[in-house]
Structure 1
Amino acid sequence: MSEAMQHVGGAEINLGEAELKALCHKVLTRHGFSKPHVEAISEALVAAEMSGSRSHGLYRLMGFVATLNNGGVMPKAVPVVEDAAPSVVKVDAKGGFSSLAFQQGAPELVSKAKANGIAILAINHCVHATALWVEIERLTREGLVAIACNPTQSYMAPHGGSQPLLGTNPIAFGWPRGDGNPYVFDFATSAIARGDIELHRRQGDEIPLGWGVDREGMPSQDPTEVLDHGAMLPFGEHKGSALAIMVELIAGPLIGDMLSIESTEHDQGKGSLPYHGELIIAMDPARLSGGNTQQHMLRSERLFDMVKQQGARLASERRYKARQTHQAQGVTLSRALYEDVMKLIL
């Protein structure tokens, strides 16, 4: 037992980064995922757990295995990378999880963005269940500004409606900041990520009003009612709804892939994780700023400084702080979650 593991006899258990990764490796290997998928998925899940993004961390392993057992993902899929145009790279994930498809396509995306100023990576036929900010941070480390988005399944009602139609459709954005941590945001166009409602259900907690409605379209605080019979709601009413529709279009039909409602129909009620596409746009400031790139990038620092001078928090600061703490102290998991994950190895 390592020094990073504590509280093993109580209600909580503490694991270090290496132990988290080893646990992911054991689960995924046990269920037949190929080594490249094991590595790519584990990296994304551990990054989320270490950064305090619990809704995209280890608890996702249960959904991964359930989706595999439902026939909803190909555990040994080999992504195919296509040089589709001077500024476009496409990756056919072949029904596998998106993490490996992104890793396979990212080098060509970076190369095209730096050559042309802007480039697009379109991932098709993937199962997506990890945080977009993991991918965005990878691109900002190359000095690129990046945007990513994807549909999901029809979990959310459009503003003014009451029936599930749109996906939770996350949007992520990243801005490099030299040697410092990038400015990154990643949020669902729903009032809250679906995974957060799942966590409330696991813990037996009610959800706040405004997150979802019941089967009659009435406000509900019951996570099971919202997830299984009702619908989630968009953030910002018509604004979140419009952004969700935008994501449906540009990360669905535009790249030759599914709408959220089509992903739901594809699932046929099995309850698998969403099968769809993903769109990533990368932009190179060195090509777009018209010279004196460093000077122009420093103007963004003025903006960030003025935000903080007002006492406001920049997006992603909480995640970086959590990462620093967890790297020093490990991550504390509930014993119930730890035991559920360990059952997947048996």
Structure 2
Amino acid sequence: MMSRNSPDEIILSEGEALGLARDFLTAHGLSAAQAEAVASALCAAQRDGCASHGLQRLPGTLDTMAHPAFNRMADPRPEAVTPAVTRVDADYGFSILAAERGLPSLVANARRLGVAILAVNNGFHSTALWPVVEKIATHGLAALSMNPTHDWVAPSGGTKGTLGTNPIAFAWPRAGHPPYVFDFATSAAARADIALHRQRGQEIPAGWGLDPQGRPSTDPAAVLAGAMLPFGGHKGSALATMIELLAGPFIGDRTSRQSAAFDKGAKAAPCHGELILAFNPDLFQFDSAQPDLEGTPQDAAEDLFSRITQQGARLPGDRRYAARAAAAQHGIRVPKALYERILRLFPQQE
């Protein structure tokens, strides 16, 4: 399985990394369909250099699967609510499988109607959002995804956790280029990034969080026990609140506070809803009455992207695509300590 290794890293092919994660999950009793979906998402993140959402999360799936409500055999089925709205109950399994099963309806509805909604309910969420919106964009659609988490984040001006890290992801299709994709938490940093700093014995930057007494802190352990902070002060706080409302009450699911209460101290991945929207950019074209607008809307989008990159600025997602290309040529890098930990956590054969 291993080749070109160093004392600190294991190099795996994409197939080997996927097999490792899939075998780990099925060995712990997860259904084959869920294992495939979760393993694919975690390996995609590892491949693309997103360590905080990659194989590092594999050991934590054991805490999630140990939650009393978790369903190892969850079999989510899409349900048409309206011609534009699809709902998939994740059946208290990992939400990624429910999202994937709802994508065909979402894509078809958006192509036909111009805009469509996919609501995922009752799912334990433990993966990044960008793989799903990127997949939607490969169908020529723009996509937006968001979800609450647990109430780890204090609102701007507050001292106690009320909001979630509440990630939001967006993708725009591009002809001849990979989709334009961003995915970020509305907190100053992702919780997994703070956990990585703690694991490595490193301080976190100022402004990422508060200790349990509500005081600013650069100690990752203190912030994980206290409260994180939103990015951009009141702006990030407002955006996080919007996500709470749209991916919580709007789709009939939990807020971050309710998700944390549902956890009951199990330290599982948050169980909540996810809102995914898809838009058809081909629905509108420039009107002949607009002589100042030349070409197509997609031409205008490409002009925007080129004006960004011509200044030396990086488009979101470019670093992931570069890491993906490197992994295809040289393999996927996995810290040796993490690799060995995963192997130790396989069930012991009697």
1:312 counterpart letter in structure 2: A
Report the 3-state secondary structure (helix = DSSP H, G, I; strand = E; otherwise coil) of the residue aligned with 1:180: coil
Is 1:70 aligned to 2:71, yes or no? no
Is 1:206 aligned to 2:206, yes or no? no
Count of residues paired in the alignment: 342
Which residue is 2:83 aligned to? 86
Match of 1:285 among 281, 288, 301: 281
Which residue is 1:245 aligned to? 241
Listed one character per residue, the Cα deviations across residues 93-145 of structure 1 (whole Å, up to 9, x for unaligned) are 11011111011100000010011000000000011111110000110000000
1:287 counterpart letter in structure 2: L
2:5 counterpart letter in structure 1: H
Native 8 Å contact 2:141 2:280 kept in 1: yes
Native 8 Å contact 2:286 2:296 kept in 1: no
Distance 1:72 1:172 in 2: 28
Is 1:127 aligned to 2:128, yes or no? no
Is 1:234 aligned to 2:230, yes or no? yes
Structure 1 residue runs of 4 or more that deviate by more than 6 Å after TM superposition: 290-294
Report the 3-state secondary structure (helix = DSSP H, G, I; strand = E; otherwise coil) of the residue aligned with 1:206: coil
Native 8 Å contact 2:286 2:297 kept in 1: no
Which residue is 2:316 aligned to? 315
Shift of the alpha carbon at 1:66?
1.4
1:37 counterpart letter in structure 2: Q
Which residue is 1:7 aligned to? 5
Which structure 2 residues correspond to residues 1-346 of structure 1 after superposition, within 5 A?
Answer: 1=1, 5-7=3-5, 10-227=7-224, 229-289=225-285, 295-346=296-347
Change (3 A) 1:291 1:88: farther
Structure 1: gaps of 5 or more residues: none
1:170 counterpart letter in structure 2: P
Native 8 Å contact 2:285 2:296 kept in 1: no
Distance 2:203 2:184 in 1: 21
Listed one character per residue, the Cα deviations across residues 229-255 of structure 1 (whole Å, up to 9, x for unaligned) are 210100000000000000000000000
Distance 1:12 1:26 in 2: 20
1:276 counterpart letter in structure 2: H
Sequence identity (%): 48
Distance 1:175 1:126 in 2: 26
Distance 2:331 2:307 in 1: 33
Distance 1:223 1:248 in 2: 25
Structure 2: gaps of 5 or more residues: 289-293
Shift of the alpha carbon at 1:334?
1.7
Distance 1:35 1:153 in 2: 28
Output the TM-score relative to the length of structure 1: 0.96
Listed one character per residue, the Cα deviations across residues 293-331 of structure 1 (whole Å, up to 9, x for unaligned) are 972101111111111111111111111011111111112
Native 8 Å contact 2:171 2:180 kept in 1: yes
Distance 1:118 1:341 in 2: 42
Distance 2:301 2:212 in 1: 46
Distance 1:58 1:191 in 2: 23
Report the 3-state secondary structure (helix = DSSP H, G, I; strand = E; otherwise coil) of the residue aligned with 1:83: strand
Output the TM-score relative to the length of structure 2: 0.95
Distance 2:256 2:63 in 1: 20
1:127 counterpart letter in structure 2: F
Report the 3-state secondary structure (helix = DSSP H, G, I; strand = E; otherwise coil) of the residue aligned with 2:73: coil
